[in-house]
Amino acid sequence: MDELDRWQQEIRGEGDPISLAFQRQLRFRGMTVMCSTPTLEDGRINKYFKQGTCETWCAVCKCGAFMPCRWADIDWSDPSEPTIACKECGQVYTETDIKGLDHEYSPPANAEPFKDNFGRIWRSFEVFGTLCHSFYSWKSLRDYEIQALKTGEASYQSFVNTRLAEIYKPRDELSVELPALMRECRDDYSPYDLPVEVDFLCAGIDTHDNCLFVEVVGFSKDGREHWGVEYFVAPYDLQAPGGIRDCLEMLATKAYARVDGVEMKIALSFIDSGGHRTNEVYTMAARSSRMMAIKGIASSRDKQDPLIRKLSKVSLNGNVKGKTHLLVLGVNAGKDALFDMEVRTITGDRCLHYWAGGGYDKTYFAGLLSEKKVGGKWIAPQRGSTPNEPLDCRVYAMAAAEYYLTKIIPRGLDPDYRRRNMAKKVSKKAEKEQEQIVIEEQKPYNGEEREVEAPCTPKPVDNSASKYEQF
């Protein structure tokens, strides 16, 4: 019996299909084999696996201990060389070391397995140990994981079940505790002493009627690791001529620095335009090449939109004529990705970093964890309770980083478009000059032209009589 988790729970009028199969084998002493890709904790194959001997494919440590090599056991402190440590002796192994060890099934973990009518015990095996085989490298699996997290929870479940061959635990059953997150993600740096791993900065801005909630986030070169630079509230005067414009211009010119002395400015800012000061946000986004108006939309339960959902153009009202770009975000995908990063951070795989100052206090972390996922849908806190602006700002900054990395920025908004376009023209010109040099080298050195044979002239055709009349 294959793919048990896809079987129907009940055949109409007959009952459970697996029980029916067992009943029809009562008088036969043959072997029954049940196989399936694991899905959830309450899946059929997992229930039958727990009833058997529960033998797992493992790498054998030098101390003799069995190492199951789960995905959660990998230490990604050094992304270029991930490692796994033996839980018995503490020996650290790289990917090459793990795949070079001996592998065998662990002893039965269940001391009292189920027995059938003939007294035979059920033997159950976890056959496929992904991390022990050479089918996939750990880095390629990490790339698959990042892409699945960006796509949505359904895609991430498919990654866990098929690539890792592990049981998927829905986010509804996971939780991140505030003290654990604050304890595990603290680092010693400042906005003017950022780590050298920070490659670029992005900002997420949540707009209100009288203030802006701003978070500046540093990202690694591949966008997989985040450093919180600062989180603050920027009030502005509604009666002032500049108003929100002066506040955004101040943010665009603000500079930070890395520990190696490199000055850094915000590469791209995403500003929420839904509900508050919409026209002012559109106007500022049209004037600046490093700011973009966005609108977040929550996906329905049965449909998961990507974080970068749709790019459109909107008209400007007021004195400024023309249009500007509006990007629609699937914020649920961003919240799912952020939640998974929080889970990995508190379990040892640190990918979120914050420093002690810059507004990263207990109130900020409470807002970051203010929404809970229930039934596949993120539930916002009630009014008057913990504000969720920190969560919104971080999701907007993550979307800005993804937008910046994937280079789907329109030409008018890409600050590096002219430089890249000129580089392409120079390279094409160099290729043409190289082709001309090759053609000149093929000519004779004496300058004489090659003799070209004259083309053969066809014989004249006598049209006086047809071929039928000649006979």
- The pLDDT value given to residue 408: 46
254 & 350 share domain: yes
112 & 207 share domain: no
- 424, part of any domain: no
Give residue 367's pLDDT band: very low, low, confident or very high (50, 70, 90): confident
Nearest to 227 by CA among 217, 237, 214, 235: 217
- The pLDDT value given to residue 463: 53
* E strands, 22-161, in order: 55-60, 66-67, 83-85, 92-94, 103-105, 125-126
292 & 227 share domain: yes
- The pLDDT value given to residue 424: 59
298 & 351 share domain: yes
Which DSSP symbol is given to 128?
-
How many structural domains compose the chain? 2
pLDDT tens digit sequence for 207-262: 887 888 999 999 988 888 899 999 998 887 655 666 677 777 888 788 999 999 89
- 215, part of any domain: yes
Residue 371 has pLDDT above 80, yes or no: yes
pLDDT tens digit sequence for 161-211: 888 888 887 765 566 777 778 877 888 899 999 999 999 999 999 988 788
236 & 361 share domain: yes
The CA angle 250-253-258, to the nearest 5 degrees, is 125
Token duo for residue 171: 């986010």
What is the spatial distance between Cα 206 and Cα 154, in angstroms, rounded to a whole number? 28
Which DSSP symbol is given to 258?
B
Q: Is 318 left (phi over 0), alpha (psi -120 to 50) or beta?
A: left
Find the largest Cα–Cα distance for the chain: 110
394 & 273 share domain: yes
pLDDT tens digit sequence for 288-321: 778 888 988 876 554 567 888 888 888 776 545 5
Helix (H) or strand (E) holding 109: none
- 466, part of any domain: no
Beta-carbon contacts of 203 under 8 Å, excluding residues fewer than 6 positions away, are 214, 215, 216, 217, 251, 266, 268, 269, 270, 396, 397, 400
- The pLDDT value given to residue 417: 47
- 222, part of any domain: yes
- Chain-centroid distance of CA 450 in Å reads 61
- 200, part of any domain: yes
110 & 238 share domain: no
Give residue 155's pLDDT band: very low, low, confident or very high (50, 70, 90): confident
End-to-end CA, the chain? 82
- The pLDDT value given to residue 458: 56
Cα→Cα distances 394→255, 270, 366, 447, 457, Å: 19, 10, 13, 69, 79
121 & 224 share domain: no
- The pLDDT value given to residue 230: 92
Residue 360 has pLDDT above 70, yes or no: yes
- Last residue of one domain, picked from the residues 118, 136, 154: 136
- Last residue of one domain, picked from the residues 414, 434, 456: 414
The mean per-residue pLDDT over the stretch 6-34 comes to 79
Residue 454 has pLDDT above 70, yes or no: no
- 233, part of any domain: yes
Residue 110 has pLDDT above 90, yes or no: no
- The pLDDT value given to residue 413: 43
Residue 451 has pLDDT above 70, yes or no: no
Beta-carbon contacts of 248 under 8 Å, excluding residues fewer than 6 positions away, are 205, 212, 269, 271, 284, 288, 291
253 & 378 share domain: yes
392 & 303 share domain: yes
Beta-carbon contacts of 418 under 8 Å, excluding residues fewer than 6 positions away, are none
- Last residue of one domain, picked from the residues 136, 166, 190: 136
Mean residue pLDDT of the chain comes to 78
- The pLDDT value given to residue 112: 81
112 & 242 share domain: no
Cα→Cα distances 385→106, 269, 337, Å: 50, 28, 24
- Look at residue 217 and give its three-state secondary structure: strand
115 & 206 share domain: no
- The pLDDT value given to residue 171: 63
Are 199 and 220 a contacting pair, CB within 8 Å? yes
What is the spatial distance between Cα 437 and Cα 137, in angstroms, rounded to a whole number? 45
Backbone angles phi, psi at 311, to 5 degrees: -110, 130
Residue 309 neighbours by CB distance under 10 Å: 18
CATH code for the domain of 367:
3.30.420.240
- The pLDDT value given to residue 411: 41
- 271, part of any domain: yes
- 435, part of any domain: no
pLDDT tens digit sequence for 40-85: 888 888 888 888 888 888 889 999 899 888 887 888 777 788 888 8
In which domain, by residue range, is 62 found?
4-136
Token duo for residue 288: 């600046």
